[in-house]
Amino acid sequence: MTRFGQWLQNFALAIGGPGLFIIAFLDSSFLSFPEINDFLIIWMVTQHKERMIFYATMATLGSIAGCLALYVVGRKGGAALLRKRFKQSRIDRAAELMRRHGMLSLLVPALLPPPAPFKIFVLMGGVSQVPLKTFVTAIAIGRGVRYFGEGILAVLWGDQALDYLRENGRNLAIFLALAVLAGGIVYALRKGRHA
C-alpha cells in the first residue's frame, strides 16, 4: 500500500463513518484503493458492533457519490477518457453488456471484489446515458449488499470475518453476482411475457 493509502486508512479509522464515506468516494471515483473499504468496515464494526448500519451506510453513500462523479464525467465526454484508460476490446464488451442488460451490467460489477473491473462500467453508464435513477439504484443495491454483508459478517464473526473474506470473498461475491444475474433474467423473462 502506498504511503498516501496508509495515511488515508489511518485518517478514516480516526474519524470513523465520515472517513469511510471519503475513502469510498475516492475509491469509486478517480483513485483506486482496492479492498481498503472492505477492511475498514470489518475492522470498525468489530470495534463498535452497534454502529454497523452507520458504517455500511456511509461506505455505500460514499461509493454512490464517487460513482456519480464518474457518471457525470462519462456523460460530458467520457468516451475519450475510456479510450485512454481501457483497451478497446474491454470498452466494446462493456458497451455491449450495457446495451443488453442495462441495470444488471452495473449491479453485478458493483458486487464483485477487486480486481474485477468496475469503473469501466460506471463510466460507460454515463457515456451510454443510462437514466440517473437506474444508475443510482444499481450502484446502491450492489454496494449496499456488499458493505452491509461485510458488516453482518463482522457482527457475527468479529475479526475472523477478515480471514473469511480473504479466503472466500471472491467466491462469495461471484455467488451473489450470479444470484442477482439469475434474478434479473427471471424478472426480464416475466416482464417480457406480460408485455
pLDDT at 161: 72
pLDDT at 85: 74
Question: What is the DSSP secondary structure assignment for residue 51, as one 8-state letter?
Answer: G
The residue count for the chain: 195
pLDDT digits (tens, 9 = 90+) for 22-40: 999 998 888 877 778 888 8
Neighbouring C-beta atoms of residue 107, cutoff 10 Å: 25
Neighbouring C-beta atoms of residue 181, cutoff 10 Å: 16
Question: Based on the structure, what is the number of domains in the chain?
Answer: 1
Phi-psi region of 116 (alpha: psi -120 to 50; beta: other; left: phi over 0): beta
Cα separation, 97 vs 181, in Å, equals 12
What percentage of the chain has pLDDT greater than the value 70? Answer: 85
Neighbouring C-beta atoms of residue 150, cutoff 10 Å: 27
- By residue range, what is the domain housing residue 180? 3-194
pLDDT digits (tens, 9 = 90+) for 102-155: 777 787 788 776 666 788 788 888 888 888 998 999 999 989 988 998 899 889
pLDDT digits (tens, 9 = 90+) for 145-190: 889 988 998 898 887 777 777 677 677 767 766 776 676 667 667 7
- Taking 3-state DSSP, the helix, strand and coil percentages for the chain, each rounded to the nearest 5, stand at 85, 0, 15
What percentage of the chain has pLDDT greater than the value 90? Answer: 24
